[in-house]
DNA sequence: TCAAAAGTGTTGGGGATACACCCATGT
DNA sequence: ACATGGGTGTATCCCCAACACTTTTGA
């Protein structure tokens, strides 16, 4: 599968003259704070079928008190970046991600009142875990899921970050098998195709989709079938190795 | 000093209680320092033809004093990330990059004696600028160019970083037109092909390469020809728009 | 028996590769 | 003239989109 690539927009910024003598030694970047945020995606049932959604948290502090924002927190001096992302993810959803990858580091001087750089990760969650948690109603407070096509205005530059993560997800779905991370262990080809359709936002030909994935070594057929209203569909699982 | 702690992406790390009443508020990550480094690529003539090379700087301080390292410096509290990358690049080569993009942020707890995260960029430099500077012998001190196939042991985790940047360059050359940034404004198709060959490390069919790029809208033929030992070759330039 | 989803077969276009071949120039 | 790189033509293969078609189930 192939789809259009995205080009990151990076602007050339003119060299800023350094005021020597302001700080004695190099390495004294006292005023810089380091945050880690995560854009979390999962599928959730909606009237129009499964929709790609992400959780946002309502801010309880200034600045942007009361606004929606991406889950995140300050980097602890004794934890790795991946660990910080996992931690903030767990604090938000109490769930293990099936996929977690660093996205980009945002650090414009004016993106927050005090100089803050945000190392942003993105993650995929299995839809059945999320649904189970919702029905168990032990979901964390101040967290709400939003359709990626209806994200409200967010605090800081988080709208830009969420858009960037969505681009990356859509791009990467085209050439890797991360879609697995949004589904339970076993699934039908139609369910997998619907994941691709929800992520990409367009319909795919069922027969070509079948051939494409059956031809690859990524899927392993099982002996089980999902029975429903019509002809039963074979269940598949992802090939763990290669 | 702090002991190294390795955490996988899935590991849930409990929030470590913060010692000291220096600050009770979140957001005081006092012990974390932020560096910006850049992996710079350019083509340089070698006996076997043009080779892809990168500049390294010799460290004059502990740790790793005397070892080769990637160019970089501390992030200034008043400059954007891109600006910091441009600045460290200018300090190393005194040249403007034709291409500059953020690569990844490395932040393992044990990657340096004191907790340091490095926001790494990668850049491409026009070969004619680099050659001109070399002959003008106003090159910066303590800087030396190395073939990407013969990178010496580097300080910190810089070998891993350089390998990562090289992967990204080779991958991106396949689907984008960044190769332009390694050449002067005008060039022949053979010169452009040799750039691709130097980057990818394999030979390409001249006729297919020609058709590929003439068919795209990326190249604009000029009326000039490069005369040499044989039939003159038409000069092209990259299409500025789209 | 019919609707609908599961699953198969067939065709054709476009891009990539391999390679035969002609063209223009300096020596 | 001839060697060498510049440049053109063309056949083949493979991937994949399009779509007609058959199979299997629940109702």
Assess whether B187 and B169 both reside in one domain: no
Assess B7–A contact: CB distance below 8 Å, yes or no: yes
pLDDT tens digits, chain B, 242 residues: what are they? 222 222 222 222 223 333 332 333 444 446 899 999 999 999 998 887 889 999 999 999 999 999 999 999 999 999 999 999 999 999 988 888 999 999 999 999 999 999 999 999 999 999 998 888 877 666 678 899 999 999 999 999 999 999 999 999 999 998 888 999 999 999 999 999 999 999 999 999 999 999 999 988 899 999 999 998 999 999 999 988 76
- Which pLDDT does position B1 carry in this prediction? 26
- Which pLDDT does position A134 carry in this prediction? 72
CA atoms within 13 A on the CB side of B57: 20
Q: Do residue B74 and residue A104 have CB atoms under 8 angstroms apart? A: no
List phi, psi (to 5°) of A27: 95, -5
Contact B159, B175 (CB under 8 A): no
Assess A8–B contact: CB distance below 8 Å, yes or no: yes
Q: Is A52 among the domain residues?
A: yes
Assess B78–A contact: CB distance below 8 Å, yes or no: yes
Assess whether A76 and A148 both reside in one domain: yes
| Residue B186, CB, strand D, below 7 Å | no
- Which pLDDT does position A130 carry in this prediction? 86
Assess whether A112 and A221 both reside in one domain: no
* CA of A47 vs chain B CAs: smallest distance (Å): 33
* CA of B6 vs chain A CAs: smallest distance (Å): 7
Q: Is B63 among the domain residues?
A: yes
Assess whether B223 and B109 both reside in one domain: no
- For residue A219, the domain's CATH number is 1.10.10.10
Number of structural domains (chain B) is 2
Q: Is B224 among the domain residues?
A: yes
* CA of B1 vs chain A CAs: smallest distance (Å): 11
Domain end point (choices B147, B173, B199): B173
- For residue A133, the domain's CATH number is 3.90.79.10
Q: Is B132 among the domain residues?
A: yes
pLDDT tens digits, chain A, 242 residues: what are they? 433 333 332 222 223 333 333 333 444 446 899 999 999 999 998 887 889 999 999 999 999 999 999 999 999 999 999 999 999 999 998 888 999 999 999 999 999 999 999 999 999 999 998 888 877 666 678 899 999 999 999 999 999 999 999 999 999 998 888 999 999 999 999 999 999 999 999 999 999 999 999 988 899 999 999 998 899 999 999 998 76
- A25: nearest CA partner in chain B: B74
D10 C1' – B162 CA distance, angstroms?
A: 43
- A2: nearest CA partner in chain B: B175
Closest CA to B92 of B107, B74, B70, B112: B70
Classify residue A21 as exposed, middle or buried by CB count within 10 Å of its CB (0-12, 13-18, 19+): exposed
D3 C1' – B223 CA distance, angstroms?
A: 27
Contact B97, B123 (CB under 8 A): yes
**Boundaries of domain holding B224:** 183-238
D9 C1' – B205 CA distance, angstroms?
A: 15
- Which pLDDT does position B48 carry in this prediction? 78
Q: For strand D, give the nucleotides within 7 A of a protein CB.
A: 3-10, 16-20, 23-27
- Which pLDDT does position A30 carry in this prediction? 60
Q: Do residue A119 and residue B101 have CB atoms under 8 angstroms apart? A: no
Q: Which stretch of DSSP H or E encloses residue B42? A: strand B33-46
Closest CA to B105 of A101, A24, A96: A101
Domain end point (choices A154, A173, A192): A173
Assess whether A70 and A108 both reside in one domain: yes
Closest CA to A141 of A84, A52, A60: A60
- B2: nearest CA partner in chain A: A78
Assess B92–A contact: CB distance below 8 Å, yes or no: no
Closest CA to the C1' of C16: that residue is B208
Closest CA to the C1' of C26: that residue is B229
- Which pLDDT does position A23 carry in this prediction? 37
Residues A16/A22/A24/A26 CA torsion (nearest 10 deg): -20
Assess A178–B contact: CB distance below 8 Å, yes or no: no
């Amino acid at each position: 599968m192939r789809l259009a690539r995205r080009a990151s927009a990076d602007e050339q910024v003119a060299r800023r003259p350094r005021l020597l003598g302001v700080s004695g030694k190099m390495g004294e970047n006292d005023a810089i704070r380091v945050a880690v945020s995560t854009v979390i995606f999962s599928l959730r049932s909606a009237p129009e079928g499964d929709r790609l959604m992400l959780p946002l948290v309502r801010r309880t502090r200034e600045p942007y008190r009361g606004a929606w924002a991406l889950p995140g927190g300050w980097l602890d001096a004794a934890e790795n970046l991946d660990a910080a992302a996992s931690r903030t993810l767990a604090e938000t959803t109490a769930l293990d991600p099936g996929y977690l990858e660093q996205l980009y580091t945002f650090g414009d001087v004016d993106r927050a009142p005090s100089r803050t750089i945000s190392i942003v990760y993105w993650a995929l969650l299995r839809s059945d875990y999320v649904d189970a948690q919702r029905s168990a109603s032990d979901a964390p407070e101040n967290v709400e899921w939003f359709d990626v096509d209806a994200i409200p205005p967010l605090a800081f530059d988080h709208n830009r970050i969420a858009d960037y993560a969505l681009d990356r997800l859509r791009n990467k779905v085209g050439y890797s098998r991360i879609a697995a991370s949004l589904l339970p262990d076993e699934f039908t080809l139609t369910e997998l195709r619907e994941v691709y359709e929800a992520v990409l936002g367009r319909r795919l030909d069922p027969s070509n989709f079948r051939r494409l994935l059956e031809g690859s070594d990524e899927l392993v057929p099982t002996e089980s079938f999902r029975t429903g209203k019509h002809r039963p569909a074979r269940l598949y699982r992802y090939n763990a190795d290669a």
